[in-house]
Amino acid sequence: MSSEKQEREPLFSAKNRKLLTNPLGVDNPITVQVLGICSALAVTAKLKPAFVMSLSVIAVIVFANLIISLMRNGIPPRIRIIVQLVVIASLVILVDQFLKAFVFDVSKQLSVFVGLIITNCIIMGRLEAFAMSNKPWPSVLDGIGNGIGYAWVLVAVGFVRELFGSGTIWGYAVIPESFYNIGYENNGFMILPPMALIIVGIIIWIQRSRNPELVEEN
């Protein structure tokens, strides 16, 4: 960010910094707000698709937040859902065409889940809760914050599942051959879909035992 702007107007004031950092921890979209689990878990069997998916979601959420925030005074409240969906759908089409053009193999692996970014509740949720009532710059920060908050959970789950499930990271073997000779085996269970849920459950467990104020009643 340009420094001369920062002198005129506190571009990263304490409030704005909070917008960026809160979603990483105490206000995480996946583990606390329970948004966007739909398309998150199915793509985490390997690190690479999880990473590409995270980047796509960050791109869509930042631009959707920006566009909706710029238009927020011109959108009639009754039809706002349709307007939001159209903006999101157009951005997702761009992302999909981009992925098909440059990383075709990952795009094939992600299959329908790129399209499902449209109905990813994180994006709708942030548009409704934040961009509709805030200025463009805080909305962009909110988008980046929530996108990264979503991304780290996805990448963490993808890392664990690929490491223990296939013994590789990003497709490179990291567990040395000698381990396999002693009798170490890849845990094929990690590749299967239910393990993603259990790993997220464990992440929630760790996070809440460190932040007791997040604990639910029942």
Please name the amino acid found at residue 18: K
DSSP-H helix ranges across the chain: 3-8, 14-21, 47-71, 80-102, 104-110, 121-129, 136-166, 177-182, 193-210
The interface with other proteins within residues 151-210 (CB under 8 A) comprises: 192-198, 200-202, 204-209
- By CB under 8 A, name the one of 83, 103, 121, 155 that touches other proteins: 121
Q: Are the CB atoms for 95 and 117 separated by under 8 Å?
A: yes
Residue type, position 4, single letter: E
Task: Kindly state the smallest distance separating residue 55's Cβ from other proteins, in Å.
Answer: 18
Site membership for other proteins, residue 37 (CB under 8 A): yes
Q: Tell me whether residue 24 or residue 89 sits nearer to other proteins (CB atom).
A: 89
The binder of other proteins chosen from 26, 70, 93, 173 (CB under 8 A): 93
Does 107 participate in binding other proteins (rule CB under 8 A)?
Answer: no
Cα gap 90→131, rounded to integer Å: 17
Q: Which is nearer to other proteins, 86 or 173 (CB)?
A: 86
> What values do phi and psi take at 177, rounded to 5?
-55, -35
C-alpha span between 167 and 38 (Å, rounded): 26
> To the nearest whole angstrom, how small is the minimum distance from the Cβ of residue 85 to other proteins?
5
Kindly state the helix (H) or strand (E) to which residue 197 belongs, with its residue range. helix 193-210
Cβ proximity of 153 and 203 under 8 Å: yes
CA 207 remoteness from chain centre: 17
Q: Give the nearest distance from C-beta 149 to other proteins in angstroms.
A: 15
The DSSP H or E segment spanning 168 is strand 168-169
- Binding of other proteins at residue 215 (CB under 8 A)? yes
User: Which of 22, 25, 27, 38 is the binder for other proteins (CB under 8 A)?
Assistant: 38
**Whole-number minimum distance, CB 97 to other proteins, in Å?**
6
Q: Are 131 and 142 in contact (CB under 8 A)?
A: yes
Q: How many residues bind other proteins (CB under 8 A)?
A: 51
Among 87, 53, 57, 91, which residue's Cα sits nearest to residue 72? 87
**Which 53-92 positions form the footprint of other proteins (CB under 8 A)?**
81-82, 85-86, 89-90, 92
Nearer to other proteins, 126 or 141 (CB): 126
Residues of this chain that bind other proteins (CB under 8 A)? 31, 34-42, 81-82, 85-86, 89-90, 92-93, 96-97, 111-112, 115-116, 118-121, 124, 192-198, 200-202, 204-209, 212, 214-218
